[in-house]
Amino acid sequence: MPRMRAVDAAVAILEKEGVTQAFGVPGAAINPFYSAMKAHGGIHHVLARHVEGASHMADGYTRAKAGNIGLCVGTSGPAGTDMITGLYAAWADSVPILCLTGQAPVAKLDKEDFQAVDIASIAAPVTKMAKTVLEAGQVPAVFAQAFHLMRSGRPGPVLIDLPIDVQMTEIEFDPDTYTPLPVHRTAATRAQAEKAIDMLLAAERPVFIAGGGIVNAGAEAPLVELAETLGVPVIPTLMGWGAIPDDHPLMVGMAGLQTAHRYGNANLLASDLVFGIGNRWANRHTGELSTYTQGRTFIHVDIEPTQIGRVFAPDYGIASDAGAAIELFLEVARERKAAGAVGDYSGWAAECAERKRTMQRKTHFDEVPIKPQRVYEEMNRAFGRDVRYVTTIGLSQIAGAQFLHVYGSRHWINAGQAGPLGWTGPAALGVARAVPEETVVALSGDYDFQFMLEELAVGAQFAIGYVHVVVNNSYLGLIRQSQRAFDMDYQVQLAFDNINSPELEGYGVDHVKAAEALGCKAIRVRRPDDLGDAFAKATAMAAEFRVPVVVEVILERVTNIAMGVKIDSVNEFESLAISAEDAPTAVALLD
C-alpha cells in the first residue's frame, strides 16, 4: 500500500472528486496542504485578499456551472471565522462548497493555543458537516463523506479542519482505487406523480413555481417540456430565474414583495392551483401568507422532507429531487395528454401573457442625475441574452430583478437568502473563473461595492476579466427606504465632500480611483445617453485587458423602488409604462 502524508492523500481525493480550482489564503497552519497542492500541480489556486472573499469566490464558482464544487482554503483561527459568512451564504442557498482550515496541533487543542479555535462548533449550524480531524488515518474517509454530503439530498457546504500534525502524518492510502461514495437523492414515486398531475388537471388556472432546486438538479429543460406539454404557465422564484427564458410564452413573471414583476404577482393572484417545485416559499416571495394562499390549492415538491409544511401546509407534499420528480410528472403528463385528459389551458395562458404585455413598469427616464430604471434598460440593450449577472442584496439587486432579463439557467447568480454585502465582487471573480469565455456582469450598489473592494486586485493579478456595474447614490438605499416607516433618514448616508476628488460633488468615495489603484479599469457615467457606450467600452476592455472593469453610474440620491408587504398591494413609487417608449427593452412590448 502506498504511504504518503495525509494532505497528499487529501489532494489526490480532490482530484478524484473533480476539484480543479481553489481560492484561499495560505498560513502557517495550512502550509502542509499548500505544499501538497504545489507538488500535485493539478489544482489551480487564486490568492484572495481576504478569506471571506475566498469563500464567496468558491461560492460563485460552484453556482456558475453544474457539477462544480468550489474549494476555499485558509489557515487556523480567524481564517475559519472569516469563512462563516461565506458558509452561511452557501448553506442558505443550497450551494456545495468545501472549506478547508488549518488548525493547531492536536495536543494543543483546548489549551488556548495561538489562533486555535473550535471552528467545527462555530461552523456547524451553517454546514452539512463541520469536523476537526483528530486522526490522520481518518482523512480519506472524512473527505469522501464530505463530497457525499455536499452532493446528496439538499446540497450544501462542508468545513474540514486539519490540525497541522494530522496534515503531516504519513498514512497508507491508494489513490488509484479511491472511488467517490454514491450520491443519494430522494425520488418521487409513480403514485405521487399521478396524484399531483391529476390535482393540477382538476384546476382551471394552474401555475408552476420553479425554484432553485430545479437549477441544482439540472432539470430546466424537462421543466420547460412539462409546462409546454400541459400548456401551464411558469412563475420562477429569484433562485430559479432563468430555468425558463424570460421571453418564453409560458414564463409569466416573478412574484413577490421586491424582486418581482407586476404581472407576475397579478398572474399568481389569478391562479387557483400553485405547483411549487424545488422552492422554499421564502417570505419575500410569498409576503403575507393569507394573501398568498387564499383561494388556491398548493402542491409542494422539495428534496428536503422538512421543507414540506415548514412555512405553510400544502394540500399535497412530495419529498423528491426536482429532476427525478419532473421526469415522472412529464411521463404522466404525456400519458394523460395522449388519453385526451388534459384540458385546454391556452385561454388561461393567453390571459397571463396579456398581463405580461400590459403591466410594465417604466424604465425610460432622461433625468440627470440618472434614475436607476434607465441603467437596467441600457444593460438589457448592451449585454444581450448570454450575459451572466452576479449580485447580492440592495436596491440595486431588487431593481435589477424587476427590470433586467434572464434567458438561461445560472445566468442570474444571486446570494438569495443570506444576501451578505460584499458578496458580489468576489463571487463574480469565481463565476468568471468558472466560465472565462463568457460575459460576466456584476451589479452592486455603492455600499456593497465598498465591502471587499480589495478583491478587485485579485482580478487584476490573475487576469480575471468581468464588468462591474456600480450604481452610486451614496446611500444605504434599501435601508433608507425601509426607514421611511420610522420617519427617519438615520446613519444611512454615505455622502461626503471628498477633498481628493471635488468633481464628485459630495458623492464621497472615488470608486474610479480606487479601482484603478487596485490595477483595474474604470469608467464614470453621469448622463443616461452615455450608458450604452460605457457598457460597450467596458465589455471590450474586460476582454482586452483581462481585468475587472468598473462602470460607476452616478444616480439620483433618492429613489424608492417598488415593494410592499403583500403581493396584492405592492407600492409603485414611479410612473408605470403606458406605451412601448416607456419600457423599450421589456420582453413583451406595449402597443
In which band, very low, low, confident or very high, does the pLDDT at 110 lie, cut at 50, 70 and 90? Answer: confident
Residue 591: its pLDDT value, please?
67
| Catalytic member of 13, 25, 73, 456 | 25
Residue 114 reports pLDDT greater than 90 = no
Mean pLDDT in residue range 62-73:
97
Mean pLDDT in residue range 387-408:
95
Q: 440-445 and 466-472: which strand pairing?
A: parallel
In which band, very low, low, confident or very high, does the pLDDT at 575 lie, cut at 50, 70 and 90? Answer: confident
Residue 339: its pLDDT value, please?
96
Could you tell me the CA-to-CA distances from 87 to 51, 193, 301, 421, 543 in Å, in that order? 11, 34, 25, 14, 31
**Span 185-196, pLDDT tens digits:** 999 999 999 999
Query: Does residue 25 have an active-site annotation?
Result: yes
Query: Does residue 443 have an active-site annotation?
Result: no
Mean pLDDT in residue range 311-323:
97
| Catalytic member of 421, 471, 547, 567 | 421
**Span 511-531, pLDDT tens digits:** 999 999 999 999 999 999 999
Query: Does residue 395 have an active-site annotation?
Result: no
Name the burial class of residue 109, with classes exposed (0-12), middle (13-18) and buried (19+) by CB atoms within 10 angstroms of its CB.
Answer: middle
Q: Are 406 and 261 in contact (CB under 8 A)?
A: no
What share of the chain has pLDDT > 70, as a percent?
A: 99
Residue 373 reports pLDDT greater than 90 = yes
Residue 590: its pLDDT value, please?
67
Taking the mean position of all CA atoms in its chain, how far away is CA 61?
11
Mean pLDDT in residue range 6-16:
98
Q: For 477-519, give the secondary structure using H, E and C.
A: HHHHHHHHHHCCCCCCECCECCCCCHHHCCECCCHHHHHHHCC
Q: Are 12 and 40 in contact (CB under 8 A)?
A: yes
Residue 8: its pLDDT value, please?
98
Query: Does residue 518 have an active-site annotation?
Result: no
| Catalytic member of 109, 311, 435, 479 | 479
Nearest to 300 by CA among 372, 347, 237, 359: 237
What share of the chain has pLDDT > 90, as a percent?
A: 92
In which band, very low, low, confident or very high, does the pLDDT at 59 lie, cut at 50, 70 and 90? Answer: very high
Q: Are 371 and 556 in contact (CB under 8 A)?
A: yes
| Catalytic member of 13, 30, 51, 244 | 51
| Catalytic member of 476, 531, 549, 587 | 476
Q: Are 155 and 96 in contact (CB under 8 A)?
A: yes
Mean pLDDT in residue range 428-446:
97
Query: Does residue 95 have an active-site annotation?
Result: no
